[in-house]
């Protein structure tokens, strides 16, 4: 029962091992999947960001280029404007500023300014400029010298840059003034400040002329970028545009994730440098990864839920089983108690049965004994009556033979009572070392007349050394004689009667008597008192019962079996007496 209970105990251990394995596999798959999707998504989103950045760079560059182109034709048109020429010639500028404002609104330039031949502002879209002198400005100087429209970059007092197209106005082949059209690049620059990128525009000398970060201006790109220690200028520039990044700190920490693109503007060797960050890429990838991880976490939770349910079911099962086992145990203990009780009453019954079978045996024996004794008694009575008659008729010789018969009958009755006496005698006598070889030869001597009469072929095998047992010589002789007599009875009808007698000495002393008769009919009843197959008068069925009693009294046993080919085998087995013991005695 204990073993039955241990088998299911292995079950939870197996289940928890399976659970651990499943969870380990799920986690391994999760890690692999997250790793692969991280690589894939990062690559994909980076590619997307790059394409988007390239597009934006192209748009910004296009904006600058179109602004420049759009404005570049305005000076030519205005240099031929009759109203402006007339105003310059007549010195009447009353309506000129108003006209310039109208034109500015139409063409979308940043500002327009009309200078007279001395570089004084005579009309302007910005009234504050009226009357200001520009004689030394590049746009005035260069336009006065050139027959064409010139593009100039002027550094203002404020530190800002002013980009303008200017052209000389002529009247009768003589310069009468200069028209200055400011290009509206500043408004583009302002827009960049709110965009999600950092942008620089450099001129042909590599100096920054436009930038989303004012501090970068007037420097070379590389100098602009290493202005200060970390966080780098770009990072700070990007930080300024923090409205598109949720966590500026993240952008800074992702220093390596900054993307730089360069492009041509297609105007006087101008170039645009564009910086953006991959931070948004990371954010998007992280978003997807978070979803995946959440999915796996739910999966693991599900696995745990299922496993814990199974564990609960199993523990319920074990509980039920152990309850059943306990019940079974109780039932078994009850059964054992019951059996013990039955055994006790059986022993009591056996004792009373032994008592009654003893009484029955006594009854049977009395019947057999009285039967056996009655027969010779009746015969003796007849013989005595006969003898009496013969003596009365003076025939003493014949009477003598009757007496002889009576004598025989008395002898037979004596034999029966002798046998009964030896059966009744048990223990008490002192046991002595007996050599079974002596016992055998004494028995054979006693049976010699019968053996000779029947011409039995006897094969004997006897060891040279004594075969000593502890016993009673006379009683053992009685056993041997009994066996020999039975064997002779079994072979008396045969033509070639044979007896094999074998005395051997091993762990035990063994004396066997084998005949070639018809064998034993009923092995179960053989040793029962009064069991006999012989005719009344030939046997009383006490021989084997008595012999077996004698042998077991001496600590041995008498066994019987049928031979393999024919006949019966009787064997006396006795504990051997050690030589040492014998020597000691």
* Joined tokens for residue 315: 């523990």
Shortest distance in whole angstroms from residue 558 CB to ligand ADP:
11
Binders in 541-580 for ligand ADP, by CB under 6 A: 541-545, 568
Q: Which H/E stretch holds residue 350?
A: helix 279-392
Question: Cβ 565 to ligand ADP, closest distance in Å?
Answer: 14
Distance CA 323, CA 242 (A): 70
Comparison of 544 and 576: residue with beta carbon closer to ligand ADP: 544
520 contributes a contact to ligand ADP by CB under 6 A: yes
Give the interface segment with ligand ADP, choosing from 64-72, 217-225, 244-252, 527-535 (CB under 6 A). Answer: 527-535
Q: Closest separation between CB of residue 493 and ligand ADP, Å? A: 12
- As a whole number of angstroms, the distance between CA 131 and CA 133 comes to 7
464 or 495: whose CB is closer to ligand ADP?
A: 495
**Shortest reach from residue 326's CB to ligand ADP, in Å:** 57
Which region among 241-249, 434-442, 456-464, 539-547 touches ligand ADP (by CB under 6 A)? 539-547
C-beta contacts of 235-238 below 8 A and 24+ residues apart = 237/198, 237/212, 237/213, 237/275, 238/197, 238/198, 238/275, 238/277
- Contact residue for ligand ADP among 184, 443, 517, 556 (CB under 6 A): 517
* Parallel, antiparallel or unpaired: strands 174-182 and 161-171: antiparallel
Q: Which is nearer to ligand ADP, 345 or 370 (CB)?
A: 370
> How many CB atoms are located within 10 Å of the residue 323 CB?
10
User: Which one of residues 164, 419, 486, 573 is an interface residue with ligand ADP (CB under 6 A)?
Assistant: 486
Among 179, 406, 540, 558, binds ligand ADP (CB under 6 A): 540
Q: Locate 180 and state its tokens.
A: 């200055």
The residue among 103 and 490 lying less far from ligand ADP, judged by its C-beta, is: 490
Closer to ligand ADP at the Cβ: 116 or 500?
500
- Does the footprint of ligand ADP cover residue 526 (CB under 6 A)? yes
CA 559 to CA 551: how far, in whole Å?
Answer: 10
Listed residue (253, 219, 289, 272) closest to 40, CA to CA: 289
Applying CB under 6 A, the site for ligand ADP has a residue count of 20
Secondary structure of 508-574 in the HEC alphabet? EEEEEEEECCCCCCCCCCCCCCCCCCCCCCCCCCCHHHHHHHHHHHCCCEEEEEECCCCCEEEEEEE
Contacts of 378-387 with C-beta under 8 Å, sequence gap 24+, read 379/405, 379/409, 380/406, 380/409, 380/410, 383/409
Report whether 78 contacts 143 (CB < 8 A). no
Strand 457-461 and strand 508-515: the pairing is unpaired
- Taking the complex as a whole, the smallest distance from the CB of residue 548 to ligand ADP amounts, in Å, to 9
Query: To the nearest whole angstrom, how small is the minimum distance from the Cβ of residue 422 to ligand ADP?
Result: 13
Q: Does residue 65 touch ligand ADP according to CB under 6 A?
A: no
Among 345, 533, 552, 581, binds ligand ADP (CB under 6 A): 533
Closest C-alpha to 432, from 221, 581, 275, 280: 581
Rounded Cα gap, residues 277 and 45, in angstroms: 12
Cα separation of 516 and 535, whole Å?
21
Candidates 150-158, 185-193, 389-397, 525-533 — which segment interacts with ligand ADP by CB under 6 A?
Answer: 525-533
Distance of closest approach, residue 538 Cβ to ligand ADP, in angstroms: 7
Handedness of CA 448, 452, 456, 457 (dihedral sign): positive
| Nearest distance from C-beta of residue 459 to ligand ADP, angstroms | 16
Q: Which of 110, 252, 490, 558 lies at the binding interface for ligand ADP (CB under 6 A)?
A: 490
- Contacting range for ligand ADP; rule: CB under 6 A; set: 159-167, 249-257, 431-439, 480-488: 480-488
Q: Which residues bind ligand ADP (CB under 6 A)?
A: 482, 486-487, 490, 515, 517, 520, 526, 531-534, 539-545, 568
């Amino acid at each position: 029962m204990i073993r039955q209970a241990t088998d299911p105990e292995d079950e939870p251990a197996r289940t928890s091992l399976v659970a651990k394995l499943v969870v380990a596999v799920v986690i391994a798959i999760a890690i692999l999947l997250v790793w692969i999707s991280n690589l894939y998504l990062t690559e994909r989103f980076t590619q997307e960001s790059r394409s988007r950045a390239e597009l934006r760079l192209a748009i910004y560059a296009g904006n600058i280029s179109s602004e420049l182109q759009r404005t570049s034709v305005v000076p030519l048109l205005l240099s031929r404007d009759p109203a402006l020429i007339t105003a310059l010639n007549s010195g009447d500028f009353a309506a000129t500023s108003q006209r310039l404002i109208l034109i500015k609104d139409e063409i979308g330039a940043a500002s327009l300014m009309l200078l007279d031949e001395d570089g004084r502002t005579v009309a302007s879209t910005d009234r504050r400029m009226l009357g200001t002198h520009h004689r030394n400005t590049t746009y005035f100087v260069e336009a006065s010298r050139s027959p064409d429209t010139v593009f100039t970059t002027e550094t203002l007092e404020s530190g800002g840059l002013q980009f303008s197209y200017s052209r000389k106005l002529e009247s009768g082949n003589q310069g009468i003034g200069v028209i200055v059209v400011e290009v509206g690049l500043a408004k583009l620059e302002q827009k960049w400040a709110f965009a999600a990128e950092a942008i620089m525009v450099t001129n042909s000398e590599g100096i920054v002329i436009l930038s989303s970060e004012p501090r970068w201006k007037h420097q070379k790109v590389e100098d602009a970028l290493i202005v200060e220690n970390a966080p780098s200028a770009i990072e700070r520039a990007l930080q300024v545009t923090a409205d598109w990044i949720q966590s500026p700190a993240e952008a800074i920490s992702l220093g390596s994730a900054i993307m730089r693109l360069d492009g041509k503007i297609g105007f006087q060797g101008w170039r645009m440098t564009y910086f953006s960050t991959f931070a948004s890429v990371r954010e998007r990838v992280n978003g997807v990864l978070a979803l995946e991880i959440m999915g796996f976490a739910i999966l693991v939770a599900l696995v745990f839920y299922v496993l814990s349910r199974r564990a609960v079911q199993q523990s319920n099962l074990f509980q039920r089983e152990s309850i059943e086992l306990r019940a079974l145990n109780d039932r078994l203990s009850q059964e054992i108690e019951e059996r013990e009780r039955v055994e006790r009453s059986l022993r009591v019954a056996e004792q009373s049965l032994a008592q009654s079978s003893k009484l029955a045996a006594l009854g049977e024996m009395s019947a057999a004994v009285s039967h056996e004794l009655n027969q010779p008694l009746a015969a003796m009575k007849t013989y005595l009556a006969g003898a009496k008659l013969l003596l009365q008729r003076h025939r003493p010789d014949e009477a003598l033979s009757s007496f002889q018969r009576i004598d025989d009958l008395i002898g037979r009755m004596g034999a029966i009572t002798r046998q009964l006496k030896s059966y009744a005698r048990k223990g008490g006598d002192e046991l002595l070392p007996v050599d079974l070889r002596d016992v055998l030869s004494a028995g054979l001597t006693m049976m010699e007349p019968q053996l000779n009469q029947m011409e039995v072929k006897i094969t004997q095998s006897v060891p040279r050394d004594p075969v000593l047992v502890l016993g009673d010589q006379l009683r053992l002789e009685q056993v041997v004689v009994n066996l020999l007599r039975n064997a002779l009875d079994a072979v008396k009808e045969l033509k070639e009667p044979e007896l094999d007698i074998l005395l051997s000495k091993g762990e035990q002393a063994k004396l066997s008597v084998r005949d070639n008769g018809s064998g034993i009919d009923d092995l179960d009843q053989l040793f029962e008192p009064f069991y006999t197959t012989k005719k009344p008068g030939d046997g009383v069925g006490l021989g084997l019962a008595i012999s077996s009693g004698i042998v077991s009294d001496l600590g041995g046993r008498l066994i019987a079996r049928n031979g393999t080919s024919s006949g019966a085998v009787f064997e006396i087995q006795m504990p051997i007496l050690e030589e040492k013991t014998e020597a000691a005695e």
